[in-house]
Structure 1
Amino acid sequence: MAAIIRAADARHALPSYDGGTARLLQWADQPPDKETAMSAACATCGNVYDKAFQVTMAGETYTFDSFECAAHKLAPSCEHCKVRILGHGLEAGDGRFFCCDHCAEKAGVKGLRDRV
């Protein structure tokens, strides 16, 4: 699942990164509308912040005031220990996510291994 993340202010633009599950962009063709981003409330906590950023994932655009709020709203949780998975994690064939092979095995899933 790919995501596009944009900073609301050029001073806080994110470095270019083209891989993994998210694409971080300094700017696409046009910077996001700063006034809109500044007046939009965080999709997780409701805070209005002048350095907010937007994430577009699976066709939906969200505004966040912090990466913590973005992770809380968008990152999958480990099926066993319930932590948010911010790294690669592991996905079982049935669509369940795990933070590591230990948690997968504790949940009865065999054969998954962490990538090193």
Structure 2
Amino acid sequence: MRPLRATGGGATMEEGCGTPVAGGRLRGPGAFDGAAERRTAMTVCEVCGNDYARGFDVHIDGAVHSFDCVECAAHLLAPTCENCRCRILGHGLEAAGRFFCCAHCARTRGVRELADSVA
């Protein structure tokens, strides 16, 4: 999994949302402390171009991406199922660098060793 670090509104969100970080701030839900209203610069979403005071940045693979909403972030960053072309927002499945949303799609593309669950 790629390291992910999102910042916005004076807070820091990283994997493990809702846990304290240095300085006592929270990551994740409830972390925004009103700093977005105090900022003079607006975040401009690189997907839709909307400028929004509560936008956020995602740091991934050494690059920084700016978004106004999670939907735009997913549109740009989420992997796409090789079979049905949907965006994989959950865990998904991966085999030899190929991404699938479910075992059915993997089997459709000839990947037999993946399963949605083990019974």
- TM (normalized to structure 2)? 0.73
Consecutive unaligned residues of structure 2, counting only runs of 5 or more, are 18-25
Higher Rg: 2
- State the 1:77 CA deviation: 0.4
Alpha-carbon RMSD across the aligned residues, in angstroms, is 2.9
Q: Distance in 1 between matches of 2:87 and 2:4?
A: 17
Query: Do the aligned residues in 2 keep the contact of 1:8 with 1:54 (CA within 8 Å)?
Result: no
Structure 1: gaps spanning 5 or more residues: none
Deviations 1:27-55 (A, max 9, x none): 7xxx89x444x2x3101111111110110
2:111, 2:77 → 1: CA distance? Answer: 24
Q: Secondary structure at the match of 2:84?
A: coil
Counterparts in 2 of 1:106 and 1:61: CA distance versus 1, 3 Å: same
**Aligned position for 1:5:** 6
Structural mapping, 1:77-92, within 5 Å: 77-92=80-95
Amino-acid identity (%) = 46
Secondary structure (helix, strand or coil) at the match of 2:71 reads: helix
- Structure 2: which amino acid aligns with 1:5? A
Matched, 1:112 2:114: yes
The aligned counterpart of 1:97 is 99
Distance 1:115 1:74 in 2: 25
AA aligned to 1:110 is R
Per the alignment, residue 22 of structure 2 pairs with none
How many residues align? The count is 103
